[in-house]
Homo-oligomer: A and B are copies of this chain.
Amino acid sequence: MSKDSFGTLFRVTTYGESHGPGLGGIVQGCPPGVALTQDTIQQELDRRKPGQGVASTGRKEADRVELLSGVFEGRTTGTAIGFHIANQDQRSRDYSDIKDVYRPGHGDFTYEAKYGIRDYRGGGRSSGRETVSRVAAGAVAQEFLKTLGIRVLAYTVEMGGIPARLVDLENAQDSPFASPDPEAVPVWEELVHKVRSQGDSLGGIVEIRSDTLSAGLGEPVFDKLDARLAYALMGVGAVKGVEIGAGFAAARKRGSENNDQMGADGFSSNNAGGVLAGISSGQPLVVRAAVKPIPSISRTQKTMTIQGSETEINIGGRHDISAIPRIVPVLKAMVMLVLADMVLLQRAVKTADKR
């Protein structure tokens, strides 16, 4: 759980840049005996793939994953699972326009401040392409969670300020914009077209949910389930806020409204979002992430050169209008990685009396 590693027992470590040979990672801690194939991982990657939907006009990448270790005869062996996704569409183009200029809203300035050196080709390590490794690792977590009956859903609840109704969560992830609301789709589509014509971009809000968690996951006092989820989601580029259950609205409720009272059948509401005192309660886990608009826009923007003088920049080329829906499987992957880790950590706690 530092830098390029995420998780304690179920843990992924990643590498790779936007325009290098490829990206990939190593998943540790996946228990042995879990059915796993390249195709299963590929399905999740395909949900994140560039060039999907009207909000995406990005580069073409097949994003084919290759499994390198840790699987034998179709099952995990308990050892490290290596995977690699080759970059294909690294157009050998001229970067002289962005080499000496910081793109607003990107990490160009801060990477240079931190490291004193910067791979300026497409953002290097700070590129959104980095999330391909998160999705691949999340797909491994998903197969493990399946063996326990745990499923995670993710969908868009708001785009450009326009909300969706929670109509169909099950099919949302393969719907346009990962929308749980068929009626929101044409409205968002129209918005996307309008914003594109303005050379601008859009943000939104994504909700991730699991109805199948048992109580007891989370490791207080610092590795609380909600703390780890916040860490996981806020660590995805473009996310600027995270909330659980009633979230920010809870700050405006009275205690008598916000408390989830209980009866013989369990809780009678879920303002907590499935987590009490940092531990899952068995109620549905419900978290949301606020996604900022894509910083690459075709409008002219003011910026600074690396020499410190003012200049203007027009970011042409292939850019999505919104991180939605491609960020949806990424956020889902992060939640699954947290849950897989928490399940393993809880095993150590609860079987105290038997070996």
Contact = CB atoms under 8 A, between A and B. Distances in A.
A218 interface: yes
8 contacts: A22-B68, A23-B69, A31-B348, A79-B115, A240-B245, A256-B301, A262-B302, A271-B292
Given A15-B70, A16-B69, A241 B242 contact: yes
Given A224-B234, A252-B161, A268-B302, A219 B2 contact: yes
A26 to B, nearest CB: 5
**Max chain B Cβ within 10 angstroms of own Cβ: one of A214, A250, A297:** A250
A304 B263 contact: yes
A21 B117 contact: no
**Max chain B Cβ within 10 angstroms of own Cβ: one of A203, A268, A281, A352:** A352
A104 B347 contact: no
B254 A201 contact: yes
Contacts of A14: 26, 80, 221
Copies of this chain, count: 4
Contacts of A175: none
Contacts of A113: 214-216, 279, 281-282
A210 interface: no
B125 A263 contact: no
Q: How large is the interface on A (under 10, 10 to 19, 20 to 34, 35 or more residues)?
A: 35 or more
**Max chain B Cβ within 10 angstroms of own Cβ: one of A4, A130, A218, A248:** A4
Contact of A297 (B24, B242, B255): B255
A252 B3 CA distance: 30
Interface string A188-205: 000000010011111111
A321 to B, nearest CB: 9
A31 to B, nearest CB: 3
Given A32-B117, A79-B17, A258 B66 contact: no
A155 interface: no
A266 to B, nearest CB: 7
B343 A347 contact: no
A355 B353 CA distance: 16
Interface string A244-261: 111110111111111111
Interface stretch (A46-54, A56-64, A176-184, A225-233): A225-233
A349 B78 contact: yes
A49 to B, nearest CB: 20
Given A4-B222, A104-B261, A107-B276, A293 B250 contact: yes
Contacts of A325: none
A352 B29 CA distance: 11
A224 B1 CA distance: 11
